[in-house]
Amino acid sequence: MKLVGIMILLLVAGGYQPMAAQAKKSTANPIERMEPMNWWVGMKNPSLQLLVYGKDIAAYRPEISYPGVEIEKVVTTTNPNYQFIYLNIGKDTRPGEMDIVFKKGNKTAFAWKYPLLAREENSAAREGFNNSDVVYLLMPDRFANGNPANDSHPDVIEKADRKSLNGRHGGDIQGIIDHLDYLNDLGITALWSTPLMEDNMPTTSYHTYAISDYYKIDPRYGTNEDYKRLSAEAKKRGIKLIMDVVTNHSGSAHWWMKDLPSADWIHQFDQFTRSNYRIGTVTDPYASEADRTLNTKGWFDTSMPDLNQNNPLLMDYLIQNAIWWIEYADLGGLRIDTYPYNHRKPMSEFNRRVMEEYPDFNIVGETWVHEPIEVAYWQKDALNPDGYNSELPAVMDFPLLDALTVFTKEKQGWDTGIMRPYVNFSRDYVYPYPYNLLIFADNHDTERIWEVLDGKIPDFKLIFTLLSTTRGIPQIYYGTEIMMRGKKQRGDGDIRRDFPGGWPGDKVNAFTAEGRTAEQNEVYDFMKKLLDWRKENPVIHTGGLKHFVPEDEVYVYFRYNDDKTVMVVLNNSDEDARTIDTKRFSEMLNGFTAGKDVISGKEIRNIQDSLTIPAKTAMVIELE
């Protein structure tokens, strides 16, 4: 799509609104934006890029006289309405408000007051989400509506329409805050919300992946201050907040699309050109450059201009934006959307710089490919033949998802049925850090697991027991605990239904035991029991994993450390109980004579001889 065509489209899509909180601006001051709006002293990286936007701003020369701060360089582009000021903020610089004076010739034209803030204590030492956590994924528009007054907002185009599957339904940040106790009671320790930044597209803006302002929470969700409050309230309950970050594309309603900093800010074509979505071309040694280029440079959708991460000005902007939100909102992690569609080398720098500021932090990338070797390519320190190192600490285990969604419906074969998860884990040698994989049975882009299983509770219990006790970081999609269903074939809106009870006037409130059915409470209680137990057992977080080849529909594995050994038994047979000869597991059972099943509470004796387990049943046995 040519730039002119994009501009016409955007004039229809809606106008740009400057952030009122930014400027103390006189009529002589042409600046409409300076981003980020503030920064902090004491950061490890002393360099700061300021994107300055305003009519003919490139004609002005900035000067700063603030102890410890120097202008390193000023970069202009072919667009006179931008300049990029690079500052060096010395390690002894004190917090305060500094004047950036803009001159024409020798005369001062105007000044901009820029805040330098003190960091929160131990900010750099923050702990990111890790394998001790359980992540709850929600879509804020569909979770709970805590403030009906902001369902529609004058600053954005699309208004609330709860009757439409793809419309805005009114869920918001206050709704999440109102139900943090619910999440805490379930056993959740990390919260991943799909993007909350402004998405000013005229339709389907509820998913918020077409961002129109990287520094502003969508007003239908709340304010930046609300997001900061969400993080603080979550932290009080031991819940880390993970931000969903989109670096591959912005939205076509983004303010800069009306006046791009430079032609190479986004990838442009003579006509609209969509990605081929062939992520494998990045790693394929025989891939054509044409295919590889189309994967990376093609647009994800008509409303999602593809950003050019090879532009160093843009990349500095995106990196600083992520760091700004981490610092501002006290985040506990990032999830990067559509990760392999980005230019890979600049994204390595993104990860390196974020992790340099926060060494104990965590970032997970959406790596939607189907073979472990493909997923592993994108994890930090992978032994890739081309020498590429992503610097990305965590990746998403889509191959395990593929196994979980079919194994309960198949008979055991050489590589089918209960063999599927076993084979998946047997390939963990390709991962540098297999314990830092995000593992899940569904998410906001897939068929809901309860739809896959057609509501079969025993099958779900097998899957959830495995997710709760194997290596990695479990992720639960909102509503799974109440058996929410959704069919991908009906459209994304169907797999993103409203959580019952999240809206005033809802006839059913599944946030309470009284509002749930007997089956829903059975599932909720089962999940809560396992999650509460998992939270208190480091052996599941970091302990060793040893598994045995499944036999006769039964998969057995052990989690162990110096203090504890846990035996997990999954019987996938839908017909009969199985009595297994446990002598086969002697290398793990030596020294133990009994155990207790965490799920049923049943005491187990003579565990070194045999064990009987009913059909479609899971056992998590603490050995004694």
What pLDDT digit, counting tens, does each position of 281-323 carry? 999 999 999 999 999 999 999 999 999 999 999 999 999 999 9
Strands 31-35 and 197-198: unpaired
**pLDDT for the residue 3:** 42
Helix-helix angle 457-469:518-535, to 10 degrees = 10
**pLDDT for the residue 302:** 95
What pLDDT digit, counting tens, does each position of 514-563 carry? 999 999 999 999 999 999 999 999 999 999 999 999 999 999 999 999 99
As a whole number of Å, the CA-based R_g of the chain is 26
Q: Where are the alpha helices (DSSP H) in 169-253?
A: 173-178, 180-186, 224-236
Dist CA 6 CA 257 (whole Å): 8
Helix-helix angle 312-329:224-236, to 10 degrees = 50
**CA 569 to centroid of chain Cα atoms:** 31
Question: Residue 278 class from Cβ within 10 Å (0-12 exposed, 13-18 middle, 19+ buried)?
Answer: middle
| DSSP string across 310-358 | TSHHHHHHHHHHHHHHHHHHT-SEEEETTGGGS-HHHHHHHHHHHHHH-
**Is a pLDDT exceeding 70 seen at residue 10?**
no
Residue 441's pLDDT band, with cuts at 50, 70 and 90, is very high
Token duo for residue 179: 């139900």
| DSSP string across 514-537 | TTS-HHHHHHHHHHHHHHHHHHT-
Dist CA 344 CA 367 (whole Å): 12
**pLDDT for the residue 27:** 54
Q: How many C-beta neighbours within 10 Å does residue 445 have?
A: 14
Task: Give the fold, CATH level 3, of 21-123.
Answer: Immunoglobulin-like (2.60.40)
| Closest to 598 measured CA to CA, from 543, 535, 547 | 535
**564-579 CB burial, b ≥16 within 10 A, e <16:** ebbbbbbbbbeeeebe
Q: Catalytic site residues?
A: 337, 366
**Three-state SS letters, 49-107:** EEEEEECCHHHCEEEECECCEEEEEEEECCCCCEEEEEEEECCCCCCEEEEEEEEECCE
Residue 15's pLDDT band, with cuts at 50, 70 and 90, is very low
pTM: 0.95
Question: Do 21-123 and 541-623 fold alike per CATH?
Answer: yes
**pLDDT for the residue 309:** 99
| Closest to 560 measured CA to CA, from 621, 473, 601, 604 | 621
Contact indicator for 173, 217 with CB cutoff of 8 Å: yes
Name every residue whose Cβ is closer than 8 Å to that of residue 56 and which is 6 or more positions away in sequence: 30, 80, 81
Residue 25's pLDDT band, with cuts at 50, 70 and 90, is very low
Residue type, 547: H
* Structural domain spans, the chain: 21-123, 541-623
**Is a pLDDT exceeding 90 seen at residue 127?**
yes
Q: Phi, psi at residue 114, to the nearest 5°?
A: -120, 125
| Closest to 527 measured CA to CA, from 573, 481, 466, 564 | 481
Q: What percent of the chain has a predicted confidence (pLDDT) above 90?
A: 95
> Side by side, which strands form the sheet with 31-35?
31-35, 47-54, 82-89, 69-76
**pLDDT for the residue 45:** 98
Name every residue whose Cβ is closer than 8 Å to that of residue 591 and which is 6 or more positions away in sequence: none
Contact indicator for 275, 248 with CB cutoff of 8 Å: no
Asked if omega into 36 is within 30° of 0 (cis), the reply is: yes
Contact indicator for 320, 48 with CB cutoff of 8 Å: yes
Mean of pLDDT values over 424-439? 99
Mean of pLDDT values over 410-432? 98
**474-507 CB burial, b ≥16 within 10 A, e <16:** bbbbbbbbbbbbbeeeeebbbbbbbbbbbbeebe
Token duo for residue 23: 């400027």
CA dist 413 to 52, 83, 373, 549, 580, Å?
A: 62, 63, 23, 12, 18
Dist CA 276 CA 45 (whole Å): 37
**pLDDT for the residue 494:** 97
> DSSP secondary-structure letter at 610?
E
Token duo for residue 241: 């907040």
Dist CA 313 CA 295 (whole Å): 22
**Is a pLDDT exceeding 70 seen at residue 234?**
yes
Token duo for residue 343: 């230019």
**pLDDT for the residue 28:** 83
3-state secondary structure of 20: coil
Dist CA 548 CA 567 (whole Å): 11
Task: Give the fold, CATH level 3, of 541-623.
Answer: Immunoglobulin-like (2.60.40)
Q: Phi, psi at residue 173, to the nearest 5°?
A: -65, -40
* Count of residues in the chain: 624
> DSSP secondary-structure letter at 470?
S
Q: What percent of the chain has a predicted confidence (pLDDT) above 70?
A: 96
Contact indicator for 392, 334 with CB cutoff of 8 Å: no
